[in-house]
Every structure is written in C-alpha cells, then in structure tokens.
Amino acid sequence: NAGVTQTPKFRILKIGQSMTLQCAQDMNHNYMYWYRQDPGMGLKLIYYSVGAGITDKGEVPNGYNVSRSTTEDFPLRLELAAPSQTSVYFCASTRTRDSYQPQHFGDGTRLSIL
Amino acid sequence: EDQVTQSPEALRLQEGESSSLNCSYTVSGLRGLFWYRQDPGKGPEFLFTLYSAGEEKEKERLKATLTKKESFLHITAPKPEDSATYLCAAPRYSGAGSYQLTFGKGTKLSVIP
C-alpha cells in the first residue's frame, strides 16, 4: 500500500538549473497538493489540482509550474532554480474536496539550491 | 487573515509527565481541524479530524479536543516514541467548493527517558 510516493528524496541543484519533482498516488484521489516547508515555518501551499487537467495556484506559486495529465501523477517543475527555493517539498492528496477529508502526505523531497 | 498559531514551539517532557499542546485559530467559519504528527525526515502523518466545538478524539496516549477558539492535544504518560513535531491545520474556503489547509508552525515534543 504505497500511498503518496515522491521522488527524488534528495537533490542539489545549481542556481539557474531546472528540475521536476515527481509525485504519484495510488489511492485514486482526485485532489492533489504541493507544499513547501521551511525551517520554523508552517507548510505553505504552492499549487493544487482538483483532477486531471485542472490546476490552480496556492499561496506561494511564483517560480513553479505544475501539470496534471493523469489522476495518479502531479509533477512540480522548477524552471530557473533560485536559492530561495531551497526547502523541503511535500506532495499530498485527498479523496474529495470535503473540508473534513484529511490530506495524506508523501515523505518529501529535500532540495538545496547552491 | 486566517491564522493558526501553535504553542509552545518546543516542549521537553520526562517520560510519564503528562502535558498539553495548544492550537489557536482565527479561521472564519471553521469546518474541521486536523492534527498531524511529523517525524524527522518524514511527511506529516494524519492523527485526528475534529469536526465541531466540544468534540474529543483519542488514540493511545493522545487526546485531541476542540473549542470555538482553540484545540488541545493532551499527551498522557508520554513515552520516548511520542517524540515528534505535532502540526495543527484548519481548512479555509478557497472558492469553487474547495478548501485549502492553513498550517501552524508546529510544536516539537521531546520525551526524555
């Protein structure tokens, strides 16, 4: 029972490089989310998706892009990496948009931009 | 502005020493409140959903309660394996029938043998 799987677990990038953080879930959840977690700060929502082909911006979307071509996958793209994007990135999913449905999280990707 | 504030930021307890963690919120029209546990190097793990003021939920040594302004996570006779960061989150309406979670910064709990 994999749940939410994120790859890679760790990555170091140079300033200006690009990369895609992968997220896959096997629970047939329609709603998927990307967060970043900085030391001493709460999780901040970057982008979310309510289903295949539908995405929307969260609280801190600048510098990121997303796509959702399937129910299972929700990749996060960094086009021109900047030191401010050094963070831990978490992907989450939930079955419905009901506010009482808990989100289920992956174990994160730890990204350093040098 | 919707806010979720957790206190204390860090808490050290001796094994068996009971205590409480606090989560206060200013989200209007609260529709539920969540507690998560996060271990180092891991993602948040869901613990409880509280639906309305007055509700209580229990799981092993943990009990979560909710009032109209705050929630408490009571830890009874904690063990070292309860050491983790505990996160509180409240959903806020973001339009088109969707909700986004506002997270607190967490309380880092250390239980000393």
Q: What is the mean pLDDT of residues B49-62?
A: 94
Give per-residue pLDDT as tens, B66-97: 998 899 999 999 999 999 999 999 998 877 77
Mean pLDDT of A63-68: 96
Region A79-102: mean pLDDT is 91
pLDDT at position B36: 98
Residues A29-53: what's their mean pLDDT? 93
Q: How many CB atoms lie within 10 A of CB B104?
A: 25
Per-residue model confidence (pLDDT) at position A98: 79
> Nearest residue of B to residue A91 by CA position?
B43
d(CA B76, CA B19): 7
pLDDT for B19-40, tens place per residue? Answer: 999 999 987 777 889 999 999 9
Using DSSP's 3-state secondary structure scheme, residue A85 falls into helix
Residues of chain A positioned with their CB less than 8 A from the CB of B32? 99-100
Specify the pLDDT at position A36. 98
Return the pLDDT at A60.
95
Residue that the structure tokens 């948040």 belong to: B44
pLDDT at position A88, please?
Answer: 98
Q: Which of B32, B98, B103 sits opposite A50 (nearest CB)?
A: B98
Across the interface, do A107 and B42 touch by the CB < 8 Å criterion?
Answer: yes
Residue B16 above 90 pLDDT?
yes
Q: Which of A111, A101, A86 lies closest to A22, judged by CA?
A: A111
With an 8 Å Cβ cutoff, the interface of chain B facing chain A consists of 4, 31-32, 34, 36, 41-46, 49, 51, 87, 89, 91, 93, 96-106
Q: Give CA separation, B60 vs A2, A32, A56, B37, B109, in Å.
A: 25, 30, 38, 14, 16
How many CA atoms does the CB half-sphere of B99 hold within 13 Å? 26
| Residues A20-39, mean pLDDT to the nearest whole number | 95
